[in-house]
Amino acid sequence: MASAFGFLGCKPFFSHSLPTFEQPCPLFSVLVRLDSLCPTPSGKLVSIKLKNQQIKIMKNDKNDREQNYDATWNAPSPEPWPDPVDANALLDEIAALLRRFVVLRHWGADTVALWALHTYAFPQRDVSVYLGIESPEKRCGKTTLLSVLAELVHRPVVAANISSPAFFRVIAESRPTLLIDEADTFLQGNDELRGILNSGYHRKTAYVVRVANQSRGTAPVPNFGSDADDSGGSTLAKFSCWCPKAVAAIGRLPDTLADRCIVLRMQRKTPGEQCERLRNLDTAALRRKCARFVSDNSAAIADARPEIPAALNDRAADIWEPLLVLADLAGGHWPDLARKAAQGLTASAQESNPIAALFIDILSLLVSTRSERIFSRSLVAGLNRLADRPWAEIRKGKEITEHWLARQLRPYGIQPRTLWHEEISAKGYEMEDFKETFRRYIPRTEIDAMMAALQPRPEPPMPDQKVTTA
């Protein structure tokens, strides 16, 4: 009789022979201590099944199991560059590399360069920055961008689909940079995964609690307290989901997730925009330079308190602060460039948010009518004249109605009331109803820009008039 592996028609993955059996049985299990054998690639429980026969090979030594498991997931950190690194030149080099392969909109390449460096430095800060990559259609370069990032960032783990348990397991056990593609195919309707993503950008809140079975796991489970059962039973376990993440999707990311991201909106390149094909990309030197810079400046990165642009809201300030720290340490043009990018991309994200855009448009219509009140039908008619607005995507091309508008405003304490105007009675809204909401949900810069645009411009002088100055 051949060995057990031969009976299954499989070749053993190590050279040592296993016990043989005189005759097959319906279900058999061979448990072998692998301490004296060649180690398996992962140290996991290996299960081979063929109909109703099964062989299990497991490693009994807990310490060896932990070591092998970590070696599988934890890609080695790059060896630091031998010489001190000029971060100004390093960031310029990374941004130039990105522009070679991907077409990014204004501030895109510079922001991604800072984020790539941040993946080496995030343990020194309390926030791990998320990068949200959106596109209206396929073939806009999202996957190409993630492919380039996989060659630049620290410990990349790329996933085109990921379940909730796999998500927090891989983060807790390897602390990677997680690059998630095709998020539109599995995030919608997956409330559990969205909740984990939402909580995972801040160190103090980036934990999930699960019941773990020690006997099934291959790595030690972080548990609560010293009274946990080490005999292989179930125990409450806390898993970290804190690490930098890039999430790419066709369409828009869920609002709560996008609010925690630096959102980059990608478009298809035009015939005049040329990019190199992604072949033979060697980024070893860049990764080593990133590691050396962070190693030399670890204390400065942890202690820095950069100046935050006043236009950023609290969430945006938290997200951008780690990148502003790196920009300030790099010096040169990067401190100014990073702050312009922060303000520009935050304003763009705010404009792309459906509800925020709806409030901005309502304010614009109220101001343009120069009235303190407006009928619901007049407000709806004015909104329907606006094309290509983010809130219109919710309606999927259909015109909005008074009932739809009332439902959108109700969570903010705004409800239509009966108004009289020139002996006409109808449902409508008063400016006073919106003031508190406008102050809370529309950036001050948007309000100032809108008021400036509505100011009457002085008429140009006639050709025969002389312009006098005081």
What CATH number is attached to the domain comprising 97?
A: 3.40.50.300
If asked whether residues 247 and 323 sit together in one domain, one would say yes
If asked whether residues 420 and 369 sit together in one domain, one would say yes
Last residue of a domain, one of 295, 319, 348: 348
Please tell me whether residue 239 adopts helix, strand or coil conformation: strand
Alpha-carbon distance 119 to 297, whole Å?
A: 14
If asked whether residues 147 and 273 sit together in one domain, one would say yes
Q: Within a domain: residue 231?
A: no
- List the domain range (segments joined by +) for residue 374: 354-454
Q: What is the CA radius of gyration of the chain?
A: 29
If asked whether residues 300 and 429 sit together in one domain, one would say no
Alpha-carbon distance 15 to 167, whole Å?
A: 35
If asked whether residues 113 and 252 sit together in one domain, one would say yes
If asked whether residues 25 and 95 sit together in one domain, one would say no
Nearest C-alpha neighbor of 9 from the set 56, 69, 77, 55: 55
If asked whether residues 278 and 161 sit together in one domain, one would say yes
Extract the tokens encoding 427.
Answer: 């449902």
If asked whether residues 114 and 188 sit together in one domain, one would say yes
Q: Within a domain: residue 235?
A: no
Q: Within a domain: residue 199?
A: yes
**Number of structural domains the chain divides into:** 3
If asked whether residues 338 and 411 sit together in one domain, one would say no
Q: Within a domain: residue 462?
A: no
Give pLDDT, residue 118: 97
Alpha-carbon distance 428 to 414, whole Å?
A: 11
Extract the tokens encoding 387.
Answer: 């094309």
Give pLDDT, residue 34: 31
The angle that helices 334-352 and 87-101 make with each other, rounded to 10 degrees, is: 40
How many other CB atoms are there within 10 angstroms of residue 385's CB atom?
Answer: 9
Do β-strands 177-180 and 156-159 pair in parallel, antiparallel, or remain unpaired?
parallel
Last residue of a domain, one of 50, 73, 96: 73
469 Cβ contact list (under 8 Å, min separation 6): none
Give pLDDT, residue 77: 83
pLDDT in tens, 170-215: 888 888 999 999 888 888 778 888 888 888 888 988 888 888 775 5
Q: Within a domain: residue 398?
A: yes
pLDDT in tens, 387-424: 778 787 777 778 889 999 999 999 889 999 998 877 78
Give pLDDT, residue 199: 85
If asked whether residues 385 and 321 sit together in one domain, one would say no
Nearest C-alpha neighbor of 64 from the set 89, 37, 86, 91: 37
If asked whether residues 35 and 168 sit together in one domain, one would say no
Q: Mark the ranges of the chain whose per-residue pLDDT is less than 70.
A: 1-75, 214-233, 351-352, 443-470
